[in-house]
Structure 1
Amino acid sequence: MARDDNAGQRRSRWAWQKRGAVALFSVLLVSVLLAAPVSAWERLRDDAPERYTVQTGDTLWDIAARFLHAPWQWPELWRENPQIDNPHRIYPGDELTLRDCLGEPCIRLERGQHVVKLSPDVRTLPHREAIEPLPRDAVEAFLRQHRIVDSAEALNELAYVVAGDDKRLISGAGDMIYARQTDHARDESAMVRGESLGIYRQGEPYAGADGDVLGLELISVGEAVLVRREDDIAQLEVRRAEQEVRNNDIVLPLESPFSDAPFMPRAPRNEVSGSILAVPGGVRFIGRLQVVAIDLGTQDGMQPGHVLRVDQQGERVNDPRTQEVLQLPAEEAGALMIFKPYDHVSYALVMEASRVLAVGDRVRTPR
């Protein structure tokens, strides 16, 4: 009888061990499945086209959004096209084909070759403009009106207005003004006769969460050209003025909107975290295709084309049992693309907004 009891106990222990092993295996399996990376094919939209012809007016973001849930993952879908001199340039009429490249989704570009027949007549081929990465008109006007200098020390090294013609205190379009160049201004941004120059006035400083000034905003008041120069004094003719030009206004060569480097929407390589500092122009609420200033710059690894997600702080609620105040998790609310980074501050364009964004919302590397 005791022998039967011992055998029953052994069978019971074996059954429990077996059930425990199965449970442990199930937990490990679930953990592996949860930790497994998302398939590249799952990044594709369900309605992603197998073939798309680039249209006039498209932007690189628009095209990427046709294929991907997250347009900033475009470089992972794009593949080098050896038959194209510059694969980062896409033109209206180009054919983009979705393919399987060794088990991974990829985009191949097909570009028709122009065939020109010789004849006595002179024929001019139409010039094709490459599509832009983001709406150029949404940022060009902004960049003519706004720019950033890193510090008050840097501001003091720039050329500045010292007088108007005939002792005018304020000047407008068609008037002559005089500007003084510091030694640093002559070295870093020499004025060239006939070249357009921007006239700016200092706006609000951009300060970080710790109160340190990250940059000083300059707001355009007009444009001028160099007429002549004698030593450190330059005579300028005001060609355009949105506001009156005053003494101590800053004079700088105009900025170009984009660099010549490839400009593609992509996530930063490193993990970054910052916040929206301001909306130039004083707008309170932020929507799609509006420009914002963020507290991340080239010193943080920001480059033109980098995409950041925008998170909004979760609501504060009362626990129904303990009445303690709880902070709900942050919610993803949009995405923005860097188009003009400075040392510690960058201008970015809001590309997506599922909610109304606001100053103080957090920005970070997208998942």
Structure 2
Amino acid sequence: MSDPAPSLARLLPGVAGALEADGFDVDPALGLGRWPRVCTVLVDGLGARLLAERGGHAPALRRAAQSQPDGAATELRTTVPSTTATALATLGTGCHPAAHGLVGYRAFRPGGTGVVNHLTWPADVDPEEWQPHPTVFERVLATGVPVTMVGPKQFAGSGLTRAALRGPRYVAAESLDARVAAAARALRATPRAMVNVYWGDVDKTGHARGCGSHEWAGELERIDAGLAALRRLAPADAVVLVTADHGMVDCPPQRRLDVAEHPHLREEVLATAGEPRLVQLRTGPGAAERVAGRWADALAGRAEVRVLDSAVAAGWLGGEPGSRVRARVGDVLVAAHGDLAVVDSERDEASLLGMVGQHGSVTDVETAVPLLRLLP
């Protein structure tokens, strides 16, 4: 996490600066320049290292990587945990997890052992109270610049959208071609425009088949062709930016640690949250150090195990969480290295147990994401 690449938190404020929206400044480190229309495409799961390894399947993105402006950032650092809900909240608010509070796929409910799943979202949790910071979109809209979000119908008004990405006019479009067309229309509709597109099938394919699979390569080819089409349809005075929320690691079943087979790892653990690549443990009073030691011994060389204060000091949450957010984070955090995933076959849902590709940890493969400009 010592890489000097700018964080994902800086991207949308930098886009607003490129649009010359009131109250935002140009971010020299991003090297975006000034544009009256900007389209940001977030390709879920498209880590920078994966793109570099498999760039032969993405000619448009490969050409873009070779023609970036001198001195412009071509990578960003995403959040830790490096997971979709956390990263989207950081993208949308410009805040780190320690501030916005979406601290993983699953976070603890304050004062208890229950969890909030940030993707499915419980009915009794108000997303706008859970994440109260204004989004960059809301702030840009207040300056008079039109803002549009293009994504699947199921995300319109969802808990995660309301918490992390609220504000824009939402255009529902299911297929890649439909999203490309909708984004191009939004860019052309007004002299100034901030347009944002979400595409999730790279991530879905990686979870189901693995990011080393032929299917993943095929999905990369498809999104690359879609991005090339978007560039052709976009106005000449628009820039198309491509980024991601996280990378991915393939975790073979035989390399996983199943907590159900190691019952001593449950000792003094009241509940678990997070994800298989960054497990969060809620412990009994005064037990955090003992639990951390137990897990560190069991995972020697395969994971980095820290109590919460140590994880904060290492920069895992991007800052010092206040009491509101601290109550949602585990007392012990277990960040997987290599191809390790930590599961519990007695308690985890089948969909989680069946995933091949995983993400969430602190590794370079998971935390480095691209920032590529598709120029006219």
Do the two structures share a fold, i.e. TM-score over 0.5? no
Q: What TM-score results when the alignment is normalised by the length of structure 2?
A: 0.22
TM-score by length of structure 1 reads 0.22
Larger radius of gyration: 1
Q: Which has the larger strand fraction?
A: 1
